Structure 1
Amino acid sequence: MKSHALPAEEVPGRPGRAVAGSRVYPWIVFALTFGLLLSDYMSRQVLSAVFPFLKAEWGLSDSQLASLTSVVAMMVGLLTFPLSILADRWGRVRSLMLMAIVWSGATLLCAIATGYGQMLGARFLVGVGEAAYGSVGIAVVLSVFAPHVRATLGGAFMAGGSFGSTIGVALGGIIAVRFGWRWALALMAVVGLVLVVLFRFSITQRKLDRYQYEEARAAVGEPEGTRAPLSSLFSNVSVLSAYLGSGLQMFVAAVLLAWTPSYLNRYHGMNPDEAGIVSAVLVLLIGAGMISCGAITDRVSRLRPERKWTTSTGYGVAAAVLLGTGFQLGESTAQLVVIGAGAFFSAGASGPATAMVANLTHASVRASGFGALTLANSILGLAAGPFAIGLLADHLGLLGALQLAPLAYLGAIAALLIGKRRYPAALRQPAAHDQRASA
C-alpha cells in the first residue's frame, strides 16, 4: 500500500522531486504559456484604451462601454469550469491552442465591427475563447515545477493578466491615436496567432509528461474510477473561502484595469494616449504586486502553511486603506502615487489563493479546481467589478463610483479569515482520496 501524507509543500524540508533531470524545458513551458496569457489579456483589455473613441463614434453610454468589458469576463466565468473539466479529460495542451485560436479570431472580428451589437457579439466570442485558458494554463505550468514555489509561480502567472493589460492598454492607446482604433484591435489578434504557432511546435503532452513532478505525474492517465470526484472541489470550507476571497479581491483590481484610462481622461484631463501610458504604469504595479506578494508568501509560509491566509488578509487591508484614501484626494500627482500604492496590493492575494487551491485539490482534477477559482475571479471580480462601477457611474459619476469600490475588500478579508481557521484539516482531504482509492 502506498504511503500518503500532506502535500509536499506543506511538509517542511521535503520538496517535491522532478522525474527528469533538466529544468530548462519547464521554463520554456512557462515562457510560451505566459506569452499566450499576455495575448489573452492584451485582446481583452485593449478595448479600455479605445473607450473614448467608441463613445465618440457610436455614442455609447458608460454602462454600454462597461458591458463590452464585462461580457468577456461573464463568459469566462460561465464557461471556465466546464471547459476546465473538458481539458482535464481531452488534453490540456490541445485545449490551450484551440482557445488561443478562438480568441484571436474573435478579436479580428472586433476590429471590423460596425456598431455596438456586432462589437458585443465579437466580444462574447473573445470570452468563449479565453474562458479556461488561465485555469488550464496554470495547471500545465505548476505540473512541471516544485510545489514549494506555487504561490510565486501562481502570482507570476496571474500577473500576466496585468502585464498583458498594460501592453494592451498602452500600445492600444498609442496605435488608436495614430492609426485608428481598429488597427489597435487587429494587432492584438495577430500577436495571438503568431504565439499559437510557436506553442504548437514547442510544447507537446509527451514532453510535458517527462518533466512532471511526482504528484502531478501520478494523476496522468489514471482510470476514471481513481479520479477525485468533482464534488471534492467544493467539499470544504477552506477551499470555498479561497474562491470567495480571491474573487472579491479581484473586484477592485478589475475596476482599476477597466476604468483607469477613462478616469484619467475625465478628471485629470489627459488625452487617450497619455491616459493609456499612465494607466499602463498603474496596471504594471498590479502585476508587480502579484509577483512580489506571492514570493513573500512562499517565503514566510514555508514552515507555517497557514500564513498564506495571514499574508493574503494583510494585502487586502493595505489595498483597501490606500485606494480608499487615494480616491478621496484631489486630482494631483500625490493622489496617483497613493492609488498606485494601493494598486500594488490590490491583487496580492492571487498567488497565495492559487497555492491554496492547488494544495486543497487532488492532482487529477487540479485544472478543474483552478477553473472554479477562475469562475469566482471572473463572476465576482472581472465581470461584476467593471459593470457595477459603470452602473454606479451613470448615477454618481465615475469618481463617486470609484470611491465605493474598495468596500469589496471587506468581504474578501472576512472570507480569508474563515478559511484560515479550517485550513489544517482541509489539507488532509486530497490525501484521503488516495488512501480510499488504494484500499
Structure 2
Amino acid sequence: MLSTEADSHANQSDDYAVAPARAWFAFVMIFLLMLSDYIDRQIVVSLFPHLKEEWGLSDKQLGALVSVISVVVAVGSLPVAMMADRFGRVKSIVVMASVWSMATIACVFARNYSQLFAARAVVGLGETGYGAAGSALVNGLFPKRWHSTLLGAFFAASAQGAVLGVILGGVIADHWGWRAAFGAVGFPGLMMALLFMLVPDYKNVVVRFAPKVQSKSPKAFVKRLYAALTHGPTLLWVCLAGAFELILVSTIWAWMPSFFNRFHGMDVTDAAKHAALVVLCCAVGALFWGWVADRLSQRSPRNKLLAMCVLTLLTFAVFTYAFTAHLEVSTQYALILLGSFLMTCSVGVTTSTVLNVTHPGLRATGSAVLALFQNLFGLAVGPLFGGIISDAWGLDVALAAIPSIAILSAICFWKASRSYEADMALVAAVLRQEAAGERVENTAVLPPLTAAQA
C-alpha cells in the first residue's frame, strides 16, 4: 500500500490552509532554505579555477561535481517525496537540510577529487526531495491565486542562492582558500534547518492503492502510480519541457564564471561577480514570468503554456546570437543577461501545471516526478555535457550549441497546452466524486490495473 498525506481542498480553494501569518512565516523559511540549498549546490562553480589548478582536473571532472548532485536528487526524489507525504513535509525537510549542510561542511576536509566528489554526492542526497516537499507546502498552505507567483518566487530563490554561492565562493576563496568557502555556507544552513521545525504543515488525507492487483512488477507499479497522479498526458509533456529548459539553465550557471575567466581575462573574483549578475537575472525572470503566467491563465489556463513556447524560442535565439556573432564584450554581456532573464520563464509555470493535474493527495509525489525529470534529464546534463564539449572543442562551442535544446522545450510546452485544460477537468471530476462520498473513509483509492496492464 502506498500512503501519502495532503489537504484535498487547499490546492483548489482561495483560502489559506492556516492563519495567513503562519503561512507567510512558512514561505520565508521555505525560501531561505532554498537559498541555502543552491548556495551549497552552486558554490563550487566559482571554485573551478582553483580546483583545476590545484588538482589538474579536466572540464568533464569539474562539471561532474555539479552534475552528481542532480543525479542523486533525481534518483532519490520520488521515494523521498513519497516518504515526505507519508510522514510529514516539515519533519522531512528538517532532516534533508541537516544532511546537505553537514555534507557541505565535510567538503572542507576533502584531500583529493574522489573525496570531494563523494561529499558532493551526499549534498545531493540531502537536497533530494526538498523542491518537491517545499513546493507541496507552498501549494498546500496558500490560496490558489498565489500558486504560480509564489512557486516562481520559491524557485527564484534557487537562482538567488546560486548568485550568493558564486559570489561568496569567489570572494572567500581569494582571501582564505577554497576550503573555507564550503565551511562558511554550511553552518548557516544547519541553523536554518533547526529553525524550520517551527513551520506549520497542512492537514492530511490518506491515498492508497486498491488491493486488487496481483502483479508486483515495477512496470505495473509505475502504471498505477501514474494513474493515481494524473489523468492525461500533460504531466509528462510538462516534465519534459521543464527538463529540456533546465539543460540550458544549468549550463549557463555552471560555466559562466569559467567563460569570463578564460575568454575575457577576468580574475576569479571578477568572473564570479559577472556570473552572479547573470544568475540574478534568472531569479528576476523566474518571478516576473510566474506573475505574467498567473495573469495570462485567468482568461484561459492553457495561455501560460503557449506563452512558454514563445519565450523558450526567444531564449534560444538570444543565446545563439550572443555566443556565435562577433560582438563587443559589452554587447555580448547584455545579450547573455537578456537570455538569462528569459530562460527561467518556465520554473514556476512548470511546477504549478504539474500540481494542477495531480491528485491533491499526491502533491509532493507529483512534484518529485517533475524533480526527477528536471534533475536527471535537465540539471545533471548541462554541466557535464558542457564539460565534455568543452574538452573536445572549447567552452565557447559548448555555450553556442546547447541553447538549441530550448526548441525541444517549446515543442513539449505546445503539446502540453493541447491537453492541459482537459486534464485539469478530469482531476476536478475525481475530487467531486470523492467529496460526494464515492470514496469512503476519506480515502482516495488508486485505480486497479486490468489483467492486460498488469
1:283-298 → structure 2 map (5 Å cutoff): 283-298=279-294
Please state if 1:88 is matched with 2:85: yes
Aligned to 1:304: 300
AA in 2 matched with 1:146 = P
Aligned to 2:110: 113
Contact 2:97 2:127 in 1 (8 A): yes
Deviations 1:147-173 (A, max 9, x none): 122111111111111000000000110
Q: How many Å separate the matches in 2 of 1:311 and 1:376?
A: 21
Contact 1:72 1:383 in 2 (8 A): yes
CA positional deviation for 1:118: 0.3
Aligned to 1:328: 324
CA positional deviation for 1:404: 0.2
Aligned to 1:174: 171
Contact 1:169 1:276 in 2 (8 A): yes
Aligned to 2:445: none
CA positional deviation for 1:431: 2.6
Q: How many Å separate the matches in 1 of 2:63 and 2:407?
A: 24
Structure 1 segments of 4 or more deviating over 6 A? 6-10
Gapped runs of 5+ residues in structure 1?
Answer: 1-5, 210-216
Q: Aligned-residue CA RMSD in angstroms?
A: 2.0
Aligned to 1:3: none
Contact 1:52 1:262 in 2 (8 A): yes
Please state if 1:18 is matched with 2:16: yes
AA in 2 matched with 1:416 = F
Q: How many Å separate the matches in 2 of 1:161 and 1:135?
A: 13
Q: How many Å separate the matches in 2 of 1:373 and 1:414?
A: 17
Deviations 1:5-32 (A, max 9, x none): x99988xxxx522355x41111100001
Q: How many Å separate the matches in 2 of 1:168 and 1:116?
A: 20
CA positional deviation for 1:314: 1.8
Please state if 1:376 is matched with 2:373: yes
AA in 1 matched with 2:367 = F
Q: How many Å separate the matches in 1 of 2:53 and 2:303?
A: 49
Q: How many Å separate the matches in 1 of 2:376 and 2:207?
A: 33
Q: How many Å separate the matches in 2 of 1:9 and 1:32?
A: 20
AA in 1 matched with 2:180 = W
SS state at 1:224 partner: strand
1:226-241 → structure 2 map (5 Å cutoff): 230-232=225-227, 233=229, 235-241=231-237
Q: How many Å separate the matches in 1 of 2:311 and 2:250?
A: 16
AA in 1 matched with 2:108 = A
CA positional deviation for 1:181: 0.4
Aligned to 2:247: 251
Q: How many Å separate the matches in 2 of 1:35 and 1:237?
A: 34
Aligned to 1:313: 309
AA in 1 matched with 2:201 = L
The verdict on how the C-alpha distance between 1:110 and 1:120 changes in structure 2, with shifts beyond 3 A counting, is same
Q: When the two structures are aligned, how many residues end up with a matched partner?
A: 416
1:15-414 → structure 2 map (5 Å cutoff): 16-18=14-16, 20=18, 22-200=19-197, 202-203=198-199, 207-209=200-202, 217=203, 220-222=204-206, 224=208, 230-232=225-227, 233=229, 235-329=231-325, 330=327, 332-414=329-411
AA in 2 matched with 1:280 = A
Contact 1:9 1:148 in 2 (8 A): no
Q: How many Å separate the matches in 1 of 2:408 and 2:208?
A: 38
Q: TM-score scaled by structure 2?
A: 0.88
SS state at 1:304 partner: coil
Q: How many Å separate the matches in 2 of 1:225 and 1:402?
A: 46
Contact 1:84 1:368 in 2 (8 A): yes
Q: TM-score scaled by structure 1?
A: 0.91
Contact 2:17 2:140 in 1 (8 A): no
Contact 1:150 1:354 in 2 (8 A): no
Contact 2:88 2:201 in 1 (8 A): no
Q: How many Å separate the matches in 2 of 1:144 and 1:378?
A: 25
AA in 2 matched with 1:63 = K
Contact 1:148 1:302 in 2 (8 A): no
Q: How many Å separate the matches in 1 of 2:45 and 2:51?
A: 10
CA positional deviation for 1:225: 5.8
CA positional deviation for 1:199: 1.4
